[in-house]
Amino acid sequence: MWIRNAWYVAAWTHEIEPGRIHARTIIDQPLVLFATSDGGIVALEDRCPHRFAPLSLGRLEGDALRCMYHGLKFAPDGTCIEIPGQKLIPRSACVRRFPLAVVGSWVWIWMGDAAKADPATIPPTLALDDPAYRLQAGQLDYDAHYLLIDDNLLDLSHLSFAHEKTLGMDMPQWADMRPRMSPIDRGLRFERWHTGHHPRGFMKKLGAEVDVWTTYDFVFPGIFLQRTAFFPAGTAAASGSTAPQGEPLFWRIDEQAVTPVSPRTSRYFYAVGTRAQDIDPDKLERLYAVTTTAFHEDKRIIEGQQKLIDLEPGRTMLPTSLDAGPTQFRKLVEAMAR
């Protein structure tokens, strides 16, 4: 069952080019997105009310969208403003419009009751062009249910194995040490120290050994906002289990969003980067390349998992102490669905 009363990431803002019509599907709902002349973005149901032709096969005429089957024309608010050869336009001749908001560089869409849509509840994210940061963005399409991708992000112990040559290189701590987990609105927060980490490659300049404070918020439907702060060795011991004070030596940013498309397809949006002073553009390229390789490592495993689950849907999985995050989050999703 889909949860409709929630904000979903529909696209990167830079994907919605003026003058173009974009077809998207989110939770099995076909949508048509386009930019208007005032700089806004509109999302309508991708279905002409006349004979159900996809409006994404239509034509933009200024800020209006014309169905290119029999020519009905719709204003950006979804009301019909023209029926060829007919003066009377019935009130029912309108297309559903979905509430939309831009926060950071993501276009967020509210798939449920419009009266309940409150943009203030959208988690804060960075804009890709924020001059204080250097960020690079990508996306992946998955043949898997979105909750399998969520499970992966809610249990980073897999970094030590699935990413042993990329993100989890030389970091058995990911699998060996459990994070502290606490509830937040529609999600969970994870915090942990990794001590005695030996930076590699261009990170060597940070020192032979550093302590790493990793924290992320994970919010429905799959918004992952992580900060990884590198501190001189000894900071963890001085801070106890709480958040460290002071400026980190290096600050890695990961912002990701999982969007369910259908029961077996999802879209995964991601941005990786640092503060502007932390990294040169060519090093950011490398960071992005390693991250993208790692996300393909996840994709291979998760799509394989989906195939095996579908082969024998009744089989139960073996629970371990690694599963606290995924288990807690699935309970939250079940409660939201109820």
51 scored as a contact of ligand FES (CB under 6 A): yes
Q: Which residue has tokens 């804009």?
A: 127
Which residues, 125 to 144, sit near Fe ion by CB under 5 A? Answer: none
Question: Any contact of residue 254 with Fe ion (CB under 5 A)?
Answer: no
The residue among 214, 200, 210 whose CA lies nearest residue 233 is 210
Tell me the pairing of strands 106-110 and 64-66: unpaired
Euclidean distance between the first and final Cα of the chain, in Å?
10
Residue 307 neighbours by CB under 8 Å, 6+ apart:
none
As a whole number of angstroms, the distance between CA 109 and CA 111 comes to 6
Asked if 50 interacts with ligand FES (CB under 6 A), we say yes
> Quick check: 10 binds ligand FES (CB under 6 A)?
no
Q: 298 touches which of ligand FES, Fe ion, none (CB within 5 to 8 A by kind)? A: Fe ion
Among 10, 21, 31, 67, binds ligand FES (CB under 6 A): 67
Question: Applying CB under 6 A, does 96 fall inside the site for ligand FES?
Answer: no
Nearer to Fe ion, 226 or 274 (CB): 226
44 touching ligand FES, by CB under 6 A? no
Q: Cα–Cα distance between 62 and 81 in angstroms, integer?
A: 13
- Contact code string over 293-312 relative to Fe ion, x by CB under 5 A: -----x--------------
Q: How far apart are CA 178 and CA 181, in angstroms?
A: 9
Q: Does 70 bind ligand FES (CB under 6 A)?
A: yes
Length of the chain: 338
Q: How many CA atoms lie within 13 A of 227 on its CB side?
A: 16
- DSSP symbol at 211: E
Of 95 and 156, which CB lies nearer to Fe ion in the complex structure?
156
80 binds, among Fe ion, ligand FES, none (CB under 5 to 8 A by kind): none
Q: How far is the CB of 166 from Fe ion (least distance, A)?
A: 9
Q: Is 93 in the site for ligand FES (CB under 6 A)?
A: no
The number of residues that bind ligand FES (CB under 6 A) is 9
> Which residues between 119 and 178 bind ligand FES (CB under 6 A)?
none
The half-sphere exposure of 296 on its side-chain side, counting CA atoms within 13 A, is 8
> Is the distance from CB of 279 to CB of 287 less than 8 angstroms?
yes
Report the residue number whose CB is nearest to Fe ion. 298
| Residue 53 touches which of Fe ion, ligand FES, none (Cβ within 5-8 Å per kind) | ligand FES
Q: Is the dihedral of CA 84, 86, 87, 89 positive or negative?
A: negative
CA atoms within 13 A on the CB side of 274: 21
Contact region with ligand FES (CB under 6 A), list: 50-58, 102-110, 119-127, 232-240: 50-58
Is 151 among the residues that bind Fe ion (CB under 5 A)? no
Where along the sequence are the contacts to Fe ion (CB under 5 A)? 298
Where along the sequence are the contacts to ligand FES (CB under 6 A)? 48, 50-51, 53, 67, 69-72
